[in-house]
A and B are shown apart, each in its own frame.
Chain A
Amino acid sequence: MSNIRKSLVREPIIHISRRTDIPRWHGWLIRCGGVLAGLLLSGLIIFLFFKVNPISAYGSMINGVFGEKWAGKTFYDGFAYSFAWIRDTMILLLIAVGLAPAFKMRFWNIGAEGQILVGAIAAAACMIFLGARVPSGLLLVIMAVAAVAAGAVWGLLPALAKSFWKTNETLFTLMMNYIALLLMEFFVAKWEDPPGSNSISIINRVDKTGWIPPVIEGETFGTSFLVITVLVLIFTTLMYVYLKHSKQGYEIAVVGESENTARYSGISVKKVVVRSMTLSSAICGLAGFFIVAGRDHTISDTTAGGRGFTAIIVAWLAKFNPFVMILIAAFLTFMDYGAKNIATRFNVPNDFSQIITGILLFCILGCEFFINYSVKLDFGRKGGKE
């Protein structure tokens, strides 16, 4: 009997089952493995393209971030090279933090890019039109509020459509990105300076009103990054508390897990969706303010520069934990800066950094599988129940 059965039942060789009991450190070990695999793969590609030892290439990545001219410089000058890295990490982190409440609710806000852009437009508008009339400190507050409001409106529309008509939010927010981009080009054409250049030069270059001020007065190497860092880290902590320890955060989690459960337990799903999505897009708008006031001091069609999309990946990989986001944002920004440095050194297009980022992300995404599932290979074991 058992022989007949064996010939009839074909047992799959690979058994996949979900596992939830995996120790946390084990999961991190697998993630490190994924990163390592990504680094090896990119190292192989660096070797094939440039015929250089990947390790020395990675070394020049580190130099690219922390400054090649460390030697013979004062501490501040050497350190200044890494300011840009920390500042860009913080901006990316803020966007990812903003996305967290929406994603936790399973609301796919793909529109961060657009929300950043409209926030930046609003902030720049305040800088241009109020720059001469309002003191810098007050102007910064007005700019931030304007950026938050603009971002909120950009997210409110898809949120309302989703909660009333179940309109697909992924597609709606995606479309809003391009409308924001064209709106940006509209305002760049409208406010162009100097006329005919079709771009806006640094706003308030002389008196620096509406610029986030440096910590050390009068310095020129950019300690304003510290202000951004502190503010963003405060936001990150607040978001962690909000998601983990507040009633509203709990409601978000319930809606994300099951809308029916939420409805049954008396949570107004519509209200939660609109509230959380508006919060999410408002923070993305605020990131637009930070880019204008603390980084670029102008606007262009590259103001968002793909950060909105990268932040989606950051938020997802961190499983919406704001503190894990710090690590991932820092790592991705580091790789981006480093790969750009390699590109400059070997005189190849900057797009090289996108290839490296892509490969790393593919590996990290793939390795999540081995954290969530256990795979057992099964050759010729007796099939089924005997």
Chain B
Amino acid sequence: MDQLISLFTTAVTFGTVIMYGAMGEILTEKSGNLNLGVPGIMYIGGIAGLIGSFFYENGNPNAIPFVGMLIALVCAFAAAALAGLLYSFLTITLRANQNVTGLTLTIFGAGFANYFGGSLNTMAGGVGQISVALTSGVFRYSVPALKTIPVAGQLFFSYGYMVYLAIILAIVLNWVISRTSVGLNLRAVGENAATADAAGINVTRYKYLATCIGAGISGLGGLYYVMDYIKGTWANDGNIEALGWLAVALVIFATWKSVRAIWGAYLFGALYWLYNFVPSFIELLNNTFGWSIPPMTRAMQQIIQMLPYVVTIIVLLFVSFRKRKEDQPPASLGIPYFREER
């Protein structure tokens, strides 16, 4: 039972990171822009939040943790949105290729974040570990009274506020995209920009705004990873990049619907961390049924970790095979729109 609870909470915290990444990318892709820079953007968001709160905490003897949290949040969103602006400027105004620009953004973002992360670690002291404990504390704060409720408290109330914010954001995003006129216009731009343009929708403005805000939201995923998941530290281990690609996978898995990304993200989290719980599960089976399943090897662990990607490919195939209208990617995804070239 403890094992199951622990798998659930791990899945939720892990899932929240990629949920932010995926929500931002859903908004971006709805405008027809396929931004493969998500990993880079999450990197930039994470490091910007860390830098902001680091300088606030270090330069201020009596720093207020809540202010540090706000600074981190604003820095992360703004820096990530700036990265989105760079992508938008290159692909929309200068008409550069979307895939190539996105990949370049990923290279740049990873280099940028790891460079400054490494430098911050050096600045923080000889041992080389930066820590913004105060700010991170606010991100990880959960109400003690609720948290101590047996089982349910662990399952539902043991997380930092950004876990709940992600769920709210997913619902709001879904409502905006599917129920408001702004969302309708946005979808029109992503489906067929020429038609949207003819209907008087400002295609450029929609693309810019969706990409920049989307990038900002993706950046929050990096921030959540840095502040909550690894507790306000920095590690040059390439994890954010892997998570970024997983976020791109989640967009497909959720078939471009942010509400589906909620449980999809938790499912991905559970699949990703499943290998941690397989040994005790095997033990349980062996004890109850008298079987003799051999213990899991480190090699097997890699095969289990493939599951999120394999599941995504199956969904991708299934969606394209079934051809259900509601599940399709935006029709002009990845296709640029230049009014003069119709």
Contacts and interface: CB of A to CB of B under 8 A. Distances in A.
Given A16-B340, A178-B245, A309-B106, A190 B299 contact: yes
Given A166-B320, A171-B316, A365 B299 contact: no
Contacts of A369: 94-96
B58 interface: no
Contacts of A331: none
B303 A353 contact: no
B309 A179 contact: yes
Nearest to B311: A175
A354 B299 contact: no
A372 B112 contact: no
A18 B341 CA distance: 8
B115 A351 contact: yes
A365 B101 contact: yes
A158 to B, nearest CB: 9
Contact of A161 (B34, B105, B236, B317): B317
B70 to A, nearest CB: 28
Identify the interface centre among A171, A313, A353: most chain B CB within 10 Å of its CB: A171
B100 A312 contact: yes
A362 B104 contact: yes
A358 B305 contact: no
A316 interface: yes
A313 B114 contact: no
A310 B320 CA distance: 29
Contacts of A354: 107-108, 110-112, 114-115
A175 to B, nearest CB: 5
Given A166-B320, A358-B108, A313 B100 contact: yes
Nearest to A167: B320
B178 interface: no
B313 A175 contact: yes
A380 to B, nearest CB: 22
Task: Describe A's contact surface by its main secondary structure.
Answer: helix
B185 interface: no
Interface string B81-97: 00000100010001111
B289 interface: no
Interface residues of A, number: 52
Given A175-B312, A183-B302, A355 B112 contact: yes
A108 interface: yes
Interface string A5-20: 0000000000011100
Interface in A351-386: 351-355, 357-359, 361-362, 365-366, 368-369, 372-373
B119 A349 contact: yes
Interface string A297-324: 0000000001001101100110000000
Contacts of B306: 178-179, 182-183
A352 B111 contact: yes
B36 interface: yes
A368 B96 contact: yes
B118 A172 contact: no
B115 A352 contact: yes
Nearest to B310: A179
A384 B248 CA distance: 45
B95 A355 contact: no
Given A365-B97, A373-B95, A189 B298 contact: yes
Interface string A88-116: 00000000000000000000101000000
A102 to B, nearest CB: 12
A63 to B, nearest CB: 22
A357 B111 contact: yes
A344 interface: no
A25 interface: no
A185 interface: yes
A264 interface: no
B121 to A, nearest CB: 9
25 contacts: A108-B99, A110-B36, A170-B334, A171-B316, A175-B312, A175-B313, A185-B302, A187-B299, A306-B107, A313-B103, A348-B115, A351-B111, A351-B118, A351-B236, A352-B115, A354-B108, A354-B110, A354-B111, A354-B114, A355-B112, A361-B107, A362-B108, A365-B104, A369-B95, A372-B95
Given A189-B299, A351-B111, 4 more contacts: A170-B36, A186-B302, A354-B112, A354-B115
